[in-house]
Structure 1
Amino acid sequence: MKRNVLILSFCVFILAAFNSSAQQKINKLDSISPISFLSTTYTGDTTAVPEVLENPLFYNYNFTYKKRLDSIQKQIPLPYNESVQRYIDIYSSRKDMMGKMLGLSEYYFPIFENALKAYDVPMELKFLPIIESSMNSHAISRVGATGLWQFMFSTAKDYGLGMDNFVDERKDPIQASYAAAAYFKDAYKNLGDWLLAIAAYNCGTGNVNRAIAKAHSRDFWAIRPFLPQETRNYVPAFIAAIYVMNCPDKHQIKAQKSLFAIKTDTIQVNRFVSLTELAEALAMEEGDLCTLNPSYKKKIVNGSEDEPKRIIIPKVSLANFAEIYEVLNNHTVETSTRVIMASNDDRRLHKKRKEVSQRSAQVRYHKVGAGQNLIAIANQYNVEVQDLRVWNNLKGSTIVPGQRLIVSQKSGRARETEAKSGEKYISYKAKGKSGSRITDRL
């Protein structure tokens, strides 16, 4: 009996040591480099949800954390389990990052709360931009999701966000927050559960409904294994972010002061206004004013009588009022006023179109004429008869007039050489040999 107990204890010790070591490696590899919240050119991938190792044995159950989660739970369930614990460990260890989130929340949370209240959805959703974008308005993911709420182009259009050569409202904290609130309203109506609605925000309601069908359940934790990997981690990370933002003092996390720790005013303009000139009139840094108004691409506010545009500025003193009035009402911005609607910036879609285009460009066809055979056609295009058979899935040499045959499959390198030299080259992939490949790098 004692021997069995000793063996069991030893196994548990080894498992705990392995798990701890693995988690330390994950934390090290997945640490987020500091993001400049004043940058207007940030284009890196903004995925803030790290992957964690799944362990069927939950050996470090913490009743204190569960009690704290229970105490802050409101409309959205905040269960405590191993996955949530792992993300609590990760986010509570990122003291600098979470300190920045606390500082930024003083400015952004009232904006988020107004939008969520307008659509009567839970206030806890205001924490989502922490794991979506680290509350960076200029965040752009590797697939093109943009802004605080990481809207894809098509979804943004569906929810009324404008994108043209002057503005991208996915980066507008106010507009994007109302669009996100509307999305959650619709997702909850469709799915009937807030954790499922949050999962849908990450992977779409279609993926969630398919997972529900496979699991024969509408419980997030039951359908979780059938969801995309990122979504499986998304909900636990969201719960952990709520916990850490509500209990920073328990983990020695202190709020960091941000640029947004100022009082601001909102003005509406119905003409074109230069943010550069306005910043000079306000006696402030141009970059700081652009940070308060992140949706304007050219540092120009394209207001009109039909569509006035919002500008956020610091509280102004009477000493600057005359100069500000002049810029807003009498200055002319030297630029074309033509508005061009933006095209879809989904990088996955662009990559797919590029691949299809390249595949189409690779293939050359020939229509079989009367009296032609494979040998004559092969000689005409300087290829082998065997290649014609392979490319066209021919079992023999019989062809008929009017038949459409593939007669070449050019590589990207051959097309590039052809374009440079003006001469025509044909490159092909022979059966059983390695041929040229087209590489597509974004």
Structure 2
Amino acid sequence: MKSNIYKILKASVFCALMLSFSFTSLAQKKANPSPVDEDTYDPIIAALDSLVSLHYVQKVSESSETGYPESEFSGSEIPVYDNDIYAKRIQKIQTDIPLTFNAEVKEYLDLYALKRRSLTQRVMGLSELYFPLFEQILDEQGLPLEFKYLSIVESALNPTAVSRMGATGLWQFMLPTGRMYNLKVNTLIDERRDPVKATYAACEYFKDMYAIYDDWLLVIAAYNCGAGNVNRAIARSGGKKTFWEISPYLPRETRGYVPAFIAVTYLLNYSAEHNLTPIAPDLSYFETDTVMVDQKMSLRDIASTIDMPLEQLTYLNPVYKRGIIPDSEEPSMLRLPLAKINTYLSNVEQIYQKNELTTSPLFVTVSKPEASKVSYTSGQIKKRHHIRSGENLGTIANKYNCSVTDLKRWNNLHSSHLRAGNYLTVYVKGQKKSDEKTVSTKTVKSNTGTETKSTETTPSGSVTPAAPKTTSYSNTNDQNSRIVYHVVQPGDTLWDIAKRYDGVTVQQIKDVNQLNSNNLKVGTKLKVLING
């Protein structure tokens, strides 16, 4: 009894939330026009057309060979059948989702098989990259495998697709709905574009909607227009409970959305009968694999190091909006071709070193000020320790003269378990030689009119600040030193920022930026003096 009450309450709360958060909702037309109208905006057509500007797919389509070797049709022949044949074939598709053939479905069959035929063949090729993943997750979640076809209706399998309403990714999540299902979106990443996480989120939505409607076609309708619109359509229909009965009361887009899903499901089950041949991408799902990345790195650096086209690497990793894999508490996923996995693992240290010297859109190098005279001579050196069989945190801590707690903090470890072959980040004390022991002084006037002098370096290399500070900072001995501007991100601390640069300490950052405390404001540009 309690379980049933809980389910009813959960469904009621979810419906209330969906009244506010819906995926996409367009105004209804006065009349009942054809669901496929190329004179007005149609998100399904727009999703297909977006493949034209997807350079990776465009490049593949021009170089790929297509065709079924034993096809009964010529290369350019387009078969057309009577409606009763379409109806009989649809009835033969074995699925828990009730599939029906009618005039609305026929219009979308013509769209995919005739009007946008070449784009449909590209989508079929992309399915080789995504459908094995979708099928695995749908099966794991106990959902009909045919839901994989819904991603074609949503995005045409374009992982970076963005609708005019702002829905994003393979499964076209709006920002509020994505956050409801724990998809993270910030300056550097958009998990709505993550094939794995977005598919799990879509599955959760399907299950939540099925708990409310107990009808898969209504689940699909709610995925498009939101539970609020479906509930209103049910009420306006007098309490009817099937999609076709409430369809006249749904938004125009949704009235075509379910027929489009049925049409895609049919065509991908009977593609050979329509002489539709997939234009395969360079890689299928089974020709790629993932590695975990535990530090910030650039996709550009990875691509150049492992000799892989940046365009291809970016396509395989659409979640990274600016081509940067950021630092995070949990390791980040990087998808690579199988043929490049060993090359990446052999050169990962070189890629990390490149990241220390190069910049990204958030890190801009500027020329050093000529008047700078301060030289730093002490700091921490960042190293990578390769974990060998038999090692533990205690032995590693002894080797680098640090504590186990330090190792856990530096690497975000929550246990003492280590796996041989992985890497740990460690920081060791180091000295950098400098011939300069003091800094020339300059007399300036403060705002109050009093005269003060600039700073001095002590023999140990530490800086004794004077107030107010007037000195610009750079290394006078190393001609390659430069100032990097770091834009403070949510969660950044001075310690985190100092960690990212060899030989940089918290005190140095405070001195260069004239900070009196460790408090940081998001969006602030901090100067970081680095050598290299």
CA gap of 1:195–1:317, structure 2 versus 1, over 3 A, is closer
Question: Partner of 2:300: helix, strand, or coil?
Answer: helix
* Separation in structure 1 between the aligned mates of residue 52 and residue 317 of structure 2, nearest angstrom: 18
State whether residues 265 and 313 of structure 1, in contact with CA within 8 Å, keep that contact through their aligned partners in structure 2. Answer: yes
Unaligned runs of 5+ in 2: 1-32, 58-80, 364-485, 492-532
Is residue 2:153 matched to residue 1:152? no
* Separation in structure 1 between the aligned mates of residue 163 and residue 38 of structure 2, nearest angstrom: 21
Question: Partner of 2:95: helix, strand, or coil?
Answer: coil
Question: Partner of 1:77: helix, strand, or coil?
Answer: coil
Is residue 2:302 matched to residue 1:283? no
State whether residues 128 and 280 of structure 2, in contact with CA within 8 Å, keep that contact through their aligned partners in structure 1. Answer: no
CA gap of 1:113–1:298, structure 2 versus 1, over 3 A, is same
Superposed, 1:83-102 pairs within 5 Å as: 83-93=104-114, 94-102=116-124
Question: Partner of 2:284: helix, strand, or coil?
Answer: coil
Match of 1:231 in 2: 254
* Separation in structure 2 between the aligned mates of residue 301 and residue 314 of structure 1, nearest angstrom: 18
Is residue 2:330 matched to residue 1:307? yes
Question: Partner of 2:351: helix, strand, or coil?
Answer: helix
Question: Partner of 1:303: helix, strand, or coil?
Answer: coil
State whether residues 165 and 340 of structure 1, in contact with CA within 8 Å, keep that contact through their aligned partners in structure 2. Answer: no
1:284-327 Cα offsets, whole Å, 9 max, x none, are 111110110001112110133x2211000112265664324431
State whether residues 283 and 337 of structure 2, in contact with CA within 8 Å, keep that contact through their aligned partners in structure 1. Answer: no
RMSD: 2.6
State whether residues 153 and 261 of structure 2, in contact with CA within 8 Å, keep that contact through their aligned partners in structure 1. Answer: yes
Superposed, 1:410-429 pairs within 5 Å as: none
CA gap of 1:300–1:201, structure 2 versus 1, over 3 A, is same
- Pairwise CA distance, 1:115: 2.2
TM-score, scaled to structure 2: 0.53
CA gap of 1:279–1:145, structure 2 versus 1, over 3 A, is same
State whether residues 27 and 90 of structure 1, in contact with CA within 8 Å, keep that contact through their aligned partners in structure 2. Answer: no
Unaligned runs of 5+ in 1: 1-21, 41-59, 342-442
Question: Partner of 2:52: helix, strand, or coil?
Answer: coil
- Pairwise CA distance, 1:171: 0.8
CA gap of 1:156–1:145, structure 2 versus 1, over 3 A, is same
State whether residues 95 and 252 of structure 1, in contact with CA within 8 Å, keep that contact through their aligned partners in structure 2. Answer: no
- Pairwise CA distance, 1:131: 1.1
Match of 2:318 in 1: 294
Is residue 2:266 matched to residue 1:240? no
* Separation in structure 2 between the aligned mates of residue 26 and residue 210 of structure 1, nearest angstrom: 25
1:408-430 Cα offsets, whole Å, 9 max, x none, are xxxxxxxxxxxxxxxxxxxxxxx
* Separation in structure 1 between the aligned mates of residue 343 and residue 226 of structure 2, nearest angstrom: 51
State whether residues 166 and 339 of structure 1, in contact with CA within 8 Å, keep that contact through their aligned partners in structure 2. Answer: no
Identity of aligned residues (%): 40
* Aligned equivalent of 1:37, options 51, 54, 66: 54
* Aligned equivalent of 1:200, options 212, 217, 222: 222
Question: Partner of 1:35: helix, strand, or coil?
Answer: helix
* Separation in structure 1 between the aligned mates of residue 306 and residue 220 of structure 2, nearest angstrom: 41
Is residue 2:155 matched to residue 1:133? yes
Match of 1:114 in 2: 136
Is residue 2:281 matched to residue 1:250? no
Q: Which amino acid aligns with 2:102?
A: N
- Pairwise CA distance, 1:122: 1.1
Aligned length: 299
Match of 1:124 in 2: 146
- Pairwise CA distance, 1:119: 2.0
Q: Which amino acid aligns with 2:326?
A: N
* Separation in structure 1 between the aligned mates of residue 307 and residue 145 of structure 2, nearest angstrom: 36
- Pairwise CA distance, 1:62: 1.4
> Where in structure 1 do 4 or more consecutive aligned residues deviate above 2 Å?
25-40, 259-262, 316-326, 328-341
* Separation in structure 1 between the aligned mates of residue 160 and residue 86 of structure 2, nearest angstrom: 33
TM-score, scaled to structure 1: 0.63
State whether residues 264 and 314 of structure 1, in contact with CA within 8 Å, keep that contact through their aligned partners in structure 2. Answer: yes
CA gap of 1:204–1:232, structure 2 versus 1, over 3 A, is same
* Separation in structure 2 between the aligned mates of residue 320 and residue 219 of structure 1, nearest angstrom: 52
State whether residues 166 and 296 of structure 1, in contact with CA within 8 Å, keep that contact through their aligned partners in structure 2. Answer: yes
CA gap of 1:258–1:213, structure 2 versus 1, over 3 A, is same
- Pairwise CA distance, 1:61: 6.6
* Separation in structure 1 between the aligned mates of residue 130 and residue 289 of structure 2, nearest angstrom: 15
Match of 2:189 in 1: 167
State whether residues 172 and 295 of structure 1, in contact with CA within 8 Å, keep that contact through their aligned partners in structure 2. Answer: yes
